[in-house]
Amino acid sequence: MTDSKINSMLMKLPDETGKGDVMAATSVLQQKANEIRNNSINWQSYLQSQMIGDDDYRFITEFLSSDGSKRDTLLEEQRGQCAKTFLSLLEHISKDQTVQYILTIMDDMLQEDMNRVEIIREYAKKKRENVWSPFLNLLNRPDGFIQNMTSRIIAKLACWSRDPMEGSDLTFYLTWLKDQLQTPGNEYVQTTARCLQMMLRDEKYRLVFAGMGGVSVLANILSGRINFQIQYQLSFCLWVMTFSPQLVEQMNKHKIIPILGDILNDSVKDKVTRIILAVFRNMIEKPEDAAMVKENCVAMVQAKVLKQLSILQQHKFDDEDIMADIEFLTEKLQASIQDLSSFDEYSTEVKSGRLEWSPVHKSERFWRENAPRLIEKNYELLKMLVHLLETSRDTLVLAVASYDIGEFVRHYPRGKSIIEQLGGKQMVMQLLAHEDSNVRYEALLAVQKLMVHNWEYLGKQLKKDPASESSSTGVKTKG
């Protein structure tokens, strides 16, 4: 899909003024905006108190009394005055109720015709002023409506104007959006998500957002308890981010596939299902690295996506795109299973952070053949196992990770010293006091394996050819 098609799809998203699901997306902002539009502002009193000038008074009263073609003509003939008046009102008036009104009618003006953002841009350029400063300052106001209506205007200016947002202004705004997403009890969170949907359509913006930890934030929110509207909006953000292949690797680090897999398995809304399938398709289609594509396919299989696809195939969708995505993903995931090695399966499971007693863990052959591979990429998988021991609260994960640490030590000559250097021995020792009996048991076995110096003397050795043992473990057999 081309960038222009992405842009087209985003622009076709219903406005917050629509009905149904989208109305719920910004119901708080929209309901308040409807109330504010009905307010009557005494502009005459502002003129008499010299808070606004004659030209601003004349323009705002004429603007508010016009509509349709008459307003188009006014804005075309008085472009400079329009920008001056709105910016002047925002600068000189401090009363919340009036500022709310100014921002609402300004947002309405831009919503009517996206080309009107150039009125603001042209004026700032002519005056050699920063077009963003007046609006970014309003994001610091304590009033939630003022903040979020301003945010809508900034997103429109940044996405619809010929001159993009850059530098510290862009960083400030994206940081504000990121913080708002994480603010507990934020009643405007769906408005924030909508602004982010607009911003991340632009590759420059999404690369900056990703660079400030944006993917991690989206992952954390999506893994929590949120309503389907936020699930859809933030999954949409991930979808547009997958059009930058370099960001797909970041998504893997933050376990986006298992997180979205869980949402997909529980989803009852077609639009949530549709956007998640679109994310998954891009995570297979967009990366140029074949190894990453393979890893993503395996991660989807482990997240039980293939099983959910078979269920979705029985469902009749009106949307042809969703059916095409189901067929595409089914074909790719089934093909990936055919080529799946036991190490691929194990590696993907560790990276997902969702360890379970899958067959590879208890396979003697697997550990004989693959223990040396755990030190690849600067001990990547071992570091992940140790990290799970340190951070996971899942008793199953802790038990399996402890077992794997012990098996690595048992089958790799320098395993003991490597695990000690990575802090794994300390983590396992701490689990000896864990409240769960299975975790304590597996930790005890792992500690015992860490204490043994020569595995050739263990009485529980499997019966096998000594030469084979010597070559697979690297430990010389005494005899």
pLDDT of 461 > 90? The answer is no
Q: What is the pLDDT of residues 192-219, one digit of tens each?
A: 999 999 999 999 999 999 999 999 999 9
The pLDDT, as a whole number, for residue 338 is 77
What pLDDT score does 120 carry? 95
Q: Over range 103-108, report the average pLDDT.
A: 95
Task: Domain ranges for the chain, please list them.
Answer: 23-160, 363-456
- Mean pLDDT rounded to a whole number for the chain: 87
How high is the pLDDT of residue 19? 32
As a whole-number percent, the residues of the chain with pLDDT over 90 amount to 68
Task: With cut-offs at 50, 70 and 90, classify the pLDDT of residue 344.
Answer: confident
> What is 363-456's CATH number, 1.25.40.150, 2.60.40.1220, 3.10.20.340, 2.40.128.630?
1.25.40.150
Given this model, what pLDDT does residue 28 score? 87
**d(Cα 294, Cα 286) in Å, to the nearest integer?**
12
- Quick check: 454 pLDDT over 70? no
Q: pLDDT tier at 5 (50, 70, 90 boundaries)?
A: low
Report pLDDT for 473. 40
CA distance 203 to 210: 10
Look at residue 335 and tell me whether its pLDDT is greater than 80. yes
Tell me, what's the pLDDT at 401?
A: 96
At residue 416 the predicted structure's pLDDT band, cuts being 50, 70 and 90, is very high
Of the pLDDT bands very low, low, confident and very high (cuts 50, 70, 90), residue 57 is: very high
- Residue 362 in tokens: 């208890």
Strongest mean pLDDT among 280-284, 301-305, 450-454:
280-284
Q: State residue 453's pLDDT score.
A: 55
- Asked which of 213-222, 415-424, 466-475 is least confident by mean pLDDT, the reply is 466-475
pLDDT of residue 13: 52
CA dihedral (293, 294, 300, 303) positive or negative: negative
Q: With bands split at pLDDT 50, 70 and 90, how would you rate the model's confidence at 457?
A: very low
Mean pLDDT of 416-427: 94
58 touches 65 (CB < 8 A): no
Looking at the predicted structure, is the pLDDT value of residue 31 above 90?
A: no
Confidence at residue 6, expressed as pLDDT on a 0 to 100 scale:
56
pLDDT-derived band of residue 1, with 50, 70 and 90 as boundaries? low
